[in-house]
């Protein structure tokens, strides 16, 4: 079952309204990209504990073995993150403290992530959070991959049981991205 963070309903409605207006003017045209063609991959993920972070670290290592440049950005759905996360130099994070009134991320790392033209963006967020939805929708990535969801802007969606875990999900992402010619 998907956990959903309880946001203030007025703030959430305002954020969704702003996002809808921005998407309408976005004019994004997806470009299909296989894993063999990819030179850059953006990784978005949610961190609820240290174990989640270690799983993402292993995934990044697997991509690095393929000589793919990665940029990972994680969302910590709390106002004051644990110091452990802030001490991680190989990751960038944002938290609820980095959101404006309408729950839109105002962190420099998020702006950089959105503006980077990744060949592929892979979302590992199995839980739906509006700040992540905003970031994924606004991303300039050529090809977006994520869990199946009716309200996400993914070009390739995988309908995988979220309880199977991110490692299994990543194996499936690799499998299908290698099939693309």
Number of structural domains in the chain:
1
List the one residue out of 53, 26, 56, 24 whose CA is nearest residue 42: 56
Q: Is residue 123 part of a domain?
A: yes
Q: Which domain holds residue 41?
A: 30-179
Q: Is residue 141 part of a domain?
A: yes
The position carrying tokens 């739906």 is 128
Distances (CA, A) of 36 to 17, 61, 141: 37, 16, 16
Q: What is the pLDDT of residue 153?
A: 85
Q: Is residue 19 part of a domain?
A: no
Q: Is residue 125 part of a domain?
A: yes
pLDDT per residue of the chain (181 residues) written in tens, 0 to 9: 334 567 889 999 999 999 999 988 777 889 999 999 999 999 999 988 888 888 999 999 999 999 999 999 999 988 887 776 666 777 889 999 999 999 999 999 999 999 999 999 999 987 889 999 999 999 999 999 999 876 778 999 999 888 888 899 999 999 999 998 7
Distance in angstroms (rounded) separating the CA atoms of residues 37 and 33 = 6
Distance in angstroms (rounded) separating the CA atoms of residues 77 and 69 = 26
Cβ atoms of 154 and 144 within 8 Å: the answer is: yes
Q: What is the pLDDT of residue 150?
A: 67
Q: Is residue 9 part of a domain?
A: no
Q: Is residue 22 part of a domain?
A: no
Q: What is the pLDDT of residue 86?
A: 66
Residue 82 sits in a domain whose CATH number is 3.40.50.2000
């Amino acid at each position: 079952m998907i956990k959903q963070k309880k946001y203030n309903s007025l703030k959430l409605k305002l954020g969704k309204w702003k996002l809808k207006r921005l998407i309408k003017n976005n004019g994004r045209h997806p470009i299909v990209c296989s894993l063999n063609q990819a030179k850059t991959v953006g990784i978005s993920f949610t961190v609820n504990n240290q174990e989640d972070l270690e799983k993402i670290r292993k995934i990044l290592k697997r991509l690095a073995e393929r000589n793919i440049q990665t940029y990972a950005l994680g969302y910590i759905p709390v106002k004051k993150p644990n110091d452990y996360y802030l001490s991680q130099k190989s990751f960038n994070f944002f938290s609820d403290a980095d959101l404006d009134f309408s729950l839109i991320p105002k962190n420099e790392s998020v702006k950089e992530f959105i503006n980077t033209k990744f060949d592929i963006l892979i979302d590992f967020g199995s839980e739906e959070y509006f700040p992540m939805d905003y970031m994924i929708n606004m991303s300039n990535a050529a090809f977006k991959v994520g869990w199946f969801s009716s309200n996400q802007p993914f070009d390739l969606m995988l309908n995988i049981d979220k309880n199977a875990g991110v490692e299994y999900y990543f194996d499936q992402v690799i499998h299908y991205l290698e099939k693309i010619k």
